[in-house]
Amino acid sequence: MYYHHRELRYVAYGKVGPPPVEVLDPDDARAYQWLGQYCGFHPQVWLSRSRSQITGFRGASFGKEAADDGVLFGFASIQGFPLAYEFWCELRMTLINSKNLAHANDEVQKHLDWRASDPYLCEEPESLTWCKTRDVREVLSKHLFVKHDQVVVPTLNLKAAKLIICRNEHQKSALRRMGFIEDRLAIRGPRPRQ
């Protein structure tokens, strides 16, 4: 199953897109712009493959006084541009500090050099590929752009969701009024911290 987390106010019964570039955190916007040169669109709608916890839905309301208004959509199958979550998180930290796209590309190469020189990371597959080929695109195609944890798409049809998890009856009623099918709606509140 593929999962997408979205605040209720941004839910529509039909196709939705990513947030406008103007509302993105500037650091994230730089990372998403870098990714756009490979996937062909920017910004992106993000989905998690089989790991709903990386969507932000499960822990979203912890530490907030107001309850989170997020809804989790589950899809049986999504055709999108694939990404490996952990390697993306690692590269994202490099990308958010870049000044522009050319600088971001240089920073990725520097990051791969650093990985290859680090005694703890030099034996990992990403580092080994880099040492062998010195080809950024090959490292990315073998280790980042792989069907593993996440996919990005330019738009997403929310009415195609097979499972819709909301936090309370208020959300469920709002989704029902939008047109979402009753038997796909489920209520699951946030899990308490332990």
Structural domain spans, the chain: 2-84+147-187, 100-144
pLDDT for 61 = 43
Residues of the chain where predicted confidence (pLDDT) is lower than 70:
58-67, 189-194
pLDDT digits (tens, 9 = 90+) for 27-82: 889 999 999 999 999 999 999 987 777 787 765 444 443 447 899 999 999 999 99
pLDDT for 56 = 73
pLDDT for 191 = 53
Q: Where is 133: in which H helix or E strand?
A: helix 125-133
For 134, the token pair is 């010195």
Whether 67 contacts 61, CB under 8 Å = yes
Per the DSSP assignment, residues forming a β-bridge with 82 are 151
